[in-house]
Chains A and B, each alone.
Chain A
């Protein structure tokens, strides 16, 4: 009993936390790259986009999980698409009604969540195989990971492009805005630098773990140094 309980909660936390860091859709898996490039000019629209994706991801994961035993293999993609499109439309209407300014800034990118591959990927990889609770947690984790990635990217871009973060001025008055950061080139450069930074950080973290295996290597490499020199 105790062990099965433990493994179940382990499964839940695994489903929840995988998307936030280890399998972060934007920084680790590099899927669904359109919104991170297109809507990260400022933190507010990026956050709105992230929250919309969390909503759609949780709802579609739940529905797909509930009907996973009824799915016909050759009709499953069309079922996923219909489910996702429904919740995206609901979300789009909701934004138009309650956050009209955000809806205007995001424009076509809200309806485009339908073709965001993170959502269809989670429906295929998780929700169509796992129970409702795991699917909801997985959707939440992946969505939060995606939202965090959008917020990091947009904070850097907004700071350098306008000197504001979340519309609050933070830079000294003498700061000259970098207009390029507001344009597509700013998105690509920021994304590339952040991905590079994350690669450097994760490499440093994994080296100590491999030390026992890597330990014999340095002595072997050291004698070579004088030889090549």
Chain B
């Protein structure tokens, strides 16, 4: 009992102020969390709109589609059906992520309505080296994905970056970052495509 009294005597200020500070943070969070979520969604939508011109409506795909990551972990893929203002399907978009040169890379990928062609990708978050690895955000690198077939991609050291094929030409001085993006796209794209074909969400490409 005496111990408890001593404890309270010494630490009442810490307990009281921790409670007040906790309340302050909770209030700030309650006031701002809606806006923070909105910002995140707006960024994803803006990037997707740039990849799929005319996109208006983003409908989450309900079907359970699981992606196995290179380290063996499984996770549910976040896929959106992208519709135009007139409710016409323009394509699909999904989030993909993996490890880059200096930390995690988060991408958003867009494909056309039959999952035959990649429409492009954009970087949601990355911490690649400025001037080198962060050129994965550059038009030079990103344009190579636009129009490429939605199949297993390959990284090449030399080649013509202007041709839309499965060969992606690496960025000079940033091979690891270039390869990381190719790996992330391969991991997510082929698995999602396969499972969506199984579930009948898209044609199997043979009709």
Q: Which of B16-24, B154-162, B184-192 contacts A (4 or more CB under 8 A)?
A: B16-24
B36 near A97 (CB under 8 angstroms)?
Answer: yes
Count of B interface residues, CB-CB < 8 Å: 24
| Chain A residues positioned under 8 Å from B127 (CB to CB) | 107
Give A93 to B40 CA distance when docked, in angstroms. 13
The smallest beta-carbon distance between B138 and chain A, in angstroms, is 14
A75 near B14 (CB under 8 angstroms)?
Answer: yes
A104 near B21 (CB under 8 angstroms)?
Answer: no
Interface status of A112 (Cβ within 8 A of chain B): no
Interface status of A34 (Cβ within 8 A of chain B): no
Give A183 to B133 CA distance when docked, in angstroms. 12
Which residues of A, 44-92, contact B by the 8 Å Cβ criterion? Answer: 67, 70-72, 75, 78-79, 82-83, 85-86, 89-90
Q: Decide: A90 near B28, CB < 8 A? Known: A82-B18, A83-B21, A100-B39.
A: yes
Selected from B10, B24, B39, B131, the residue in CB contact (under 8 A) with A183 is: B131
A94 near B28 (CB under 8 angstroms)?
Answer: yes
B39 near A97 (CB under 8 angstroms)?
Answer: yes
Interface status of B35 (Cβ within 8 A of chain A): yes
Interface status of B207 (Cβ within 8 A of chain A): no
Q: Is the interface of A mostly helix, strand, loop or mixed?
A: helix
Knowing that A82-B21, A85-B21 touch, tell me 10 more A-B residue pairs with CB under 8 angstroms: A71-B13, A78-B14, A79-B17, A86-B24, A89-B25, A90-B24, A93-B29, A97-B36, A100-B39, A183-B130
B residues apposed to A, CB below 8 Å: 10-11, 13-14, 17-18, 21, 24-25, 28-29, 32-33, 35-36, 39-40, 43, 125, 127, 129-132
Selected from A82, A83, A97, A183, the residue in CB contact (under 8 A) with B32 is: A97
Q: Decide: A41 near B130, CB < 8 A? Known: A75-B10, A90-B28, A97-B35.
A: yes
B14 near A79 (CB under 8 angstroms)?
Answer: yes
| Chain B residues positioned under 8 Å from A85 (CB to CB) | 21
B129 near A183 (CB under 8 angstroms)?
Answer: yes
Interface status of A170 (Cβ within 8 A of chain B): no
A residues apposed to B, CB below 8 Å: 41, 67, 70-72, 75, 78-79, 82-83, 85-86, 89-90, 93-94, 96-98, 100, 104, 107, 161, 179, 182-183
List the 4 closest A-B pairs by CB distance, nearest first. Answer: A86-B21, A179-B131, A97-B32, A97-B35
| Chain B residues positioned under 8 Å from A41 (CB to CB) | 130
A96 near B36 (CB under 8 angstroms)?
Answer: yes
B13 near A67 (CB under 8 angstroms)?
Answer: yes
B43 near A100 (CB under 8 angstroms)?
Answer: yes
What are 17 contact pairs spanning A and B, CB under 8 A?
A67-B13, A79-B14, A79-B17, A82-B21, A83-B17, A86-B25, A90-B24, A93-B32, A93-B36, A94-B28, A94-B32, A96-B39, A98-B35, A100-B39, A161-B131, A179-B131, A183-B129
| Chain A residues positioned under 8 Å from B130 (CB to CB) | 41, 179, 182-183
| Chain A residues positioned under 8 Å from B33 (CB to CB) | 93
| Chain B residues positioned under 8 Å from A98 (CB to CB) | 35
| Chain B residues positioned under 8 Å from A83 (CB to CB) | 17, 21
Give A54 to B164 CA distance when docked, in angstroms. 50
Give A89 to B23 CA distance when docked, in angstroms. 12
The smallest beta-carbon distance between A112 and chain B, in angstroms, is 14
B103 to A, closest residue via Cβ: A107
The smallest beta-carbon distance between A54 and chain B, in angstroms, is 18
B21 near A75 (CB under 8 angstroms)?
Answer: no
| Chain B residues positioned under 8 Å from A94 (CB to CB) | 28, 32
Selected from A82, A93, A96, the residue in CB contact (under 8 A) with B17 is: A82
Selected from B11, B36, B125, the residue in CB contact (under 8 A) with A75 is: B11
A94 to B, closest residue via Cβ: B32
The smallest beta-carbon distance between B49 and chain A, in angstroms, is 17
| Chain B residues positioned under 8 Å from A183 (CB to CB) | 129-131
| Chain B residues positioned under 8 Å from A96 (CB to CB) | 32, 36, 39
Pick from B24, B39, B129 the residue with the most CB of A within 10 Å: B39
A41 to B, closest residue via Cβ: B130
Selected from B14, B25, B39, B131, the residue in CB contact (under 8 A) with A90 is: B25
